[in-house]
Chains A and B, each alone.
Chain A
Amino acid sequence: DSGVTQTPKHLITATGQRVTLRCSPRSGDLSVYWYQQSLDQGLQFLIQYYNGEERAKGNILERFSAQQFPDLHSELNLSSLELGDSALYFCASSAGQGGGEQFFGPGTRLTVL
């Protein structure tokens, strides 16, 4: 158990809908990272937050947004969902903002029908 929690574990929704994925980092970690994993693309970095502030940005679509709250938990919002957004979404955390050793949560499996 990495200490990173994610909810929900599974999410099934329809195209055009909006969903919110939630992540709580390990105790003491200030950075949260979001990743998308699909069979063809592998693990793709989306965005990083450090102590409530946005830091690095990866290949995150404009339909996706994230935030980190004062209690350090983070939410990833996905809107106008398309079939191609079906994937595993992982959250990871680390102590600093240097993007080094990251600890991953169990993931949320999103299925868009």
Chain B
Amino acid sequence: EDQVTQSPEALRLQEGESSSLNCSYTVSGLRGLFWYRQDPGKGPEFLFTLYSAGEEKEKERLKATLTKKESFLHITAPKPEDSATYLCAVQTLNSGYSTLTFGKGTMLLVSP
């Protein structure tokens, strides 16, 4: 069974304090790894897709990287508006169709 584990469950940072979120996965055949941001009571918002080990994607203060077993979301000099839950998902085959399996997320709180 495909498994996605995110750590830590929650992270509190001071504004400007850089850190990384981890997403480790156990899947039979990875087709892609996705990062989403979710604000309270809202739908997840797409951030990045990574397809192969060694790949990196950047957007503003966020950088996502991928290895064969895990992905990291690096947050550089975060601001309070970066506070959200960050979800990682793996795309795998489900009865012949590709679907996303999500981790439970890391809740990030950035204090001013």
Contacts and interface: CB of A to CB of B under 8 A. Distances in A.
Contacts of B34: 100-101
Contact of B43 (A55, A98, A106): A106
B99 A99 contact: yes
A99 to B, nearest CB: 3
Nearest to A6: B43
B78 interface: no
B98 A90 contact: no
A84 interface: no
Interface stretch (B22-30, B64-72, B101-109): B101-109
Interface string A85-102: 000101010000111111
B99 A58 contact: yes
Contacts of A42: 102-105
A107 B97 contact: no
Contacts of B91: 98-100
Interface of A: 2, 4, 33, 42-45, 48, 55-58, 88, 90, 92, 97-107, 109
20 contacts: A4-B43, A42-B103, A43-B44, A45-B102, A48-B97, A48-B99, A55-B97, A56-B98, A58-B99, A90-B44, A98-B91, A99-B97, A99-B99, A100-B31, A100-B49, A100-B98, A101-B49, A102-B100, A104-B45, A106-B43
Interface of B: 31-32, 34, 36, 41-46, 49, 87, 89, 91, 94-95, 97-105
A52 B41 CA distance: 29
Contacts of A88: 41
Given A42-B103, A57-B95, A100 B43 contact: no
A90 B105 contact: no
Contact of A45 (B41, B42, B100, B104): B100
Nearest to A107: B43
Contact of A56 (B43, B89, B94): B94
Contacts of A102: 46, 100
A88 B94 CA distance: 23
Contacts of A2: 43, 45
